[in-house]
Amino acid sequence: MQRIVSIISTRIFQLLIMILILSFVTFLLMKVTPGDPIRAILKVDDVVVTTADEEKLRQEYGFDEPIFVQYGKWIWGVAQLDLGESLISNRPVLDMILNRLPATAALSLGGLVALLLISVPLGIIGALYKGRWPDYLSRWTAILGASIPSFWLGLLLIYFFSLKLNLLPVMGKGTLAHYILPSITLGIAMAPIYIRLLRERLIATMQSTFIEAARARGIRKERILVFHALRGSLIPLVTMFGLSIGSLLGGVTVIEILFSWPGMGELIVTSVMQRDYPVIQGYIIIVGFLVVLSNLAVDLLYLIINPQINQEKESV
Amino acid sequence: MDTVLTKSTALVRNPNMLGGIILAVFLAGVMFLGGALVPYDPFKIDMGNRLQEASTLHWLGTDQLGRDIFSRIVFGAKLTIGLGMLAIFMAVCIGVPIGLISGYIGGRMDAFFMRIIDGILTFPDFILAIAIAGILGPSLTNIVIAIVLVRWIVYARVVRGLVLSEKEKEYVLVSKTSFSSPIKTIRLHLLPHVMPDIIVMAAIDVGKVILLISALSYIGLGAQPPIPEWGAMLNDGQGYFQVKPSLMVYPGLAIMVTVLCCNLLGDGLKSHFDIRKGRQEL
């Protein structure tokens, strides 16, 4: 129990530090860069404005106050779950981001399915035929997968499957068919580390004594691998996934832009283009929160899977 | 001489390393000789010759503004690869000294800084780069700044870990107690120790950063047209992919070959230096 409390408090501390630093740095950068959000707002309305109008708006948004006061006010709002309002649409930032969350989550889930369908078979093949051509196939897929730009892969997939073969929709989100191409792109982009990890794990497990015992009993190698070794190797895979939620959220951004997927990534890029600062700030907070939450989940999962190890650690 | 020879044959015998070296020589050739070899000005617009197919005049055809695609890709090599290497070089120059000093001094200050760094490191660097690049305004320079701001932390973290595991060893203690200055101890003993790790990391990182720069340019936050950065070329030509797929194929292929080269070199160097697995991949 004590252990759980300490894990949770460490992660909460990490979250606070991360949010404070990142939001302050971005806040500072916003203030020192030449781009003027007030001008940007006024440009949207497209009417003739005077400097007096500009001043008035500046006061309204509190942009005339010293930077520390502005930051303090903003972070006080965050503590009360108020991320401010968009400069462009005047809608609450939290609502805007949370509205986009389901689409991103759905795409990530699709990517996860694709990831499993790609990396598990390739990892098994690599371990089973170690040093022979299927192993080279699996290793080269991993190396090429790590080298290919995901947006380019997506473009190629769109070109072949949507434009040439006319099999799948080009972009947007509607039917299940819309999920196929973005999910595959995301899955391939994430697959390389998992293929390698699974292959190495399986090879290591296959050399352990309990596997040898099973082989001595005359069980076939393939059977051992799938029913015994694989189960033990899935735990590090799950851990890995929990820890790579961050890179998933990063990777999904490009794919959302590419496929016009109405998720959080698309929102942040649009907001960045429009210099909609409150949305950028809010997005950093939400992403930080999601990442720390998933790390916490991994910590706790570890604790459940492996209570002895943790007790040992504690007693040392 | 003999040892150099055996060392280099051992390097070449590793197939990944060999592939990486061949690609690296090829890319370096394109980077340094490319400017002299390209048949056309990569910026010259020629509306009479737009969207030409590949021919003896235009080896890879022309784009929507009649610019020679081959010339643009060759010109872009210098830009894309050069910026990737520059960004990592700067990140190394900032991160490594900080990591060395923090690890060497140790204590509470070090623990405090590393807590903060760990906090920042869990945040996805791509999103941070988008935010920073977006705030500073879309341009290649700002992208490089954003990447350096994000990446130096990783080097500081890794180097600090290596120093911590090394600094209690005898040879460092001897140097410490023999009245050498801390700077001398760090430079003569700790820096050479962390060098192989930094080289391997940097080799792989250049590839990662090229992917990052091109992705940011592709979504419009990096190089702006008419700059022939490969990601920006993909963004630029997007409306014409259906009529002219080569606009899409070659810039992406160029990125892939370059990143592949970095990954192969990194893998090869890793086994050459015998760097153990299990060190955190960041």
**B280 — pLDDT class (breaks 50, 70, 90):** very low
Q: In this structure, is residue B176 part of a structural domain?
A: yes
**B10 — pLDDT class (breaks 50, 70, 90):** low
* For range B144-152, the mean pLDDT: 88
Q: How far is A61 from chain B (nearest CA, A)?
A: 18
The overall longest dimension of chain B from CA atoms, in Å, is 76
Q: In this structure, is residue B44 part of a structural domain?
A: no
Residues 6 or more apart whose CB falls under 8 angstroms from that of A115 comprise A186, A187, A190, A191, A194
Q: Is the dihedral of CA B100, B101, B106, B107 positive or negative?
A: negative
> What's the whole-model pTM score?
0.84
Which among A290-304, B51-65, B91-105, B220-234 has the top mean pLDDT? B91-105
CB-CB neighbors (< 8 A) of A292 in chain B: 122
Type of residue at B244:
K
User: What's the rounded Cα separation, in Å, for the pair A265 and A249?
Assistant: 8
Which comes out higher in pLDDT, residue A73 or B58? A73
Phi, psi of A83 (to 5 degrees): -90, 10
User: What's the rounded Cα separation, in Å, for the pair B101 and B103?
Assistant: 5
If phi > 0 it is left, if psi is from -120 to 50 it is alpha, else beta; for residue A265 that is: alpha
User: What's the rounded Cα separation, in Å, for the pair A256 and A93?
Assistant: 19
**Nearest alpha carbon to residue A33 among B123, B133, B261:** B133
pLDDT at A308: 53
Query: What are all long-range contacts of B22-26, with beta carbons under 8 Å and residues at least 24 apart?
Result: B23/B257, B23/B260, B23/B261, B23/B264, B24/B261, B24/B265
Interface test with A, best of B123, B238, B279 (most A CBs within 10 A): B123
The answer to whether B91 and B153 are in contact (CB under 8 A) is no
Of A33, A149, A155, nearest to B215 by CB-CB distance is A149
SS3 A193: helix
Q: In this structure, is residue B1 part of a structural domain?
A: no
| pLDDT at residue B1 tops 80 | no
Q: In this structure, is residue B48 part of a structural domain?
A: no
Q: How far is CA A176 from CA A158, A167, A181, A183, in A?
A: 16, 13, 10, 11
Lowest mean pLDDT among A170-174, A216-220, B29-33, B155-159: A170-174
* For range B192-212, the mean pLDDT: 89
* Residue keyed to tokens 């021919």: B55
pLDDT at A61: 67
Q: Is the Cβ of B259 closer than 8 Å to some Cβ of chain A?
A: yes
| pLDDT averaged per 10 residues, chain A (length 316) | 81 84 82 65 61 71 74 83 82 90 90 90 87 86 91 89 76 75 90 88 79 78 75 76 82 89 89 85 88 85 64 45
pLDDT at A129: 84
The answer to whether A280 and A271 are in contact (CB under 8 A) is yes
pLDDT at B227: 82
Which domains does chain A show, CATH number per domain?
1-87+275-316 (no CATH), 101-273 (1.10.3720.10)
SS3 B68: strand
pLDDT at A314: 45
Q: How far is A116 from chain B (nearest CA, A)?
A: 21
Q: Which two tokens stand for residue A290?
A: 């999601």
Beta bridge partner(s), residue B277:
B279
Q: Kindly report whether the peptide bond that precedes residue B226 is cis, defined as omega within 30 degrees of 0.
A: yes
pLDDT at A48: 63
**B281 — pLDDT class (breaks 50, 70, 90):** very low
**Nearest alpha carbon to residue A298 among A245, A235, A243, A236:** A243
SS3 B52: coil
Q: If you write DSSP's letter for every residue of B129-164 in order, what string do you get?
A: HHHHHHHH-SSHHHHHHHHHHHHHHHHHHHHHHHHH
| pLDDT at residue B66 tops 70 | no
Q: In this structure, is residue B164 part of a structural domain?
A: yes
pLDDT at B255: 93
User: Which residue in chain A is spatially nearest to B120 when comparing CA positions?
Assistant: A18
Host domain of residue B65: 9-38+60-281
Dihedral, CA atoms, A291, A292, A296, A301, nearest 10 degrees? 10
Q: In this structure, is residue B47 part of a structural domain?
A: no
Q: Is the dihedral of CA A207, A210, A213, A218 positive or negative?
A: negative
**% of chain B residues with pLDDT over 90:** 13
Question: Total structural domains in chain B?
Answer: 1
User: Which residue in chain B is spatially nearest to A294 when comparing CA positions?
Assistant: B122
Q: How far is B180 from chain A (nearest CA, A)?
A: 36
Q: In this structure, is residue B228 part of a structural domain?
A: yes
Q: Is the Cβ of B236 closer than 8 Å to some Cβ of chain A?
A: no
CB-CB neighbors (< 8 A) of B251 in chain A: 152
User: Which residue in chain A is spatially nearest to B264 when comparing CA positions?
Assistant: A143
pLDDT at B275: 62
* Residue keyed to tokens 């002219």: B244
The answer to whether A308 and A50 are in contact (CB under 8 A) is no
* For range B50-62, the mean pLDDT: 69
Of B130, B252, B259, nearest to A269 by CB-CB distance is B130
User: What's the rounded Cα separation, in Å, for the pair A85 and A90?
Assistant: 5
User: Tell me, what DSSP letter sits at residue A133?
Assistant: H
| pLDDT at residue B78 tops 90 | no
Q: How far is B136 from chain A (nearest CA, A)?
A: 6
pLDDT tens digits for B94-138? 999 988 888 888 778 788 778 778 778 888 888 888 888 878 888
Q: Is the Cβ of A29 closer than 8 Å to some Cβ of chain B?
A: yes
Count the neighbouring beta carbons within 10 Å of the beta carbon of residue A55. 13
Q: In this structure, is residue B32 part of a structural domain?
A: yes
pLDDT at B278: 41
User: What CATH number did the domain enclosing B246 receive?
Assistant: 1.10.3720.10
SS3 A92: strand
**% of chain B residues with pLDDT over 70:** 83
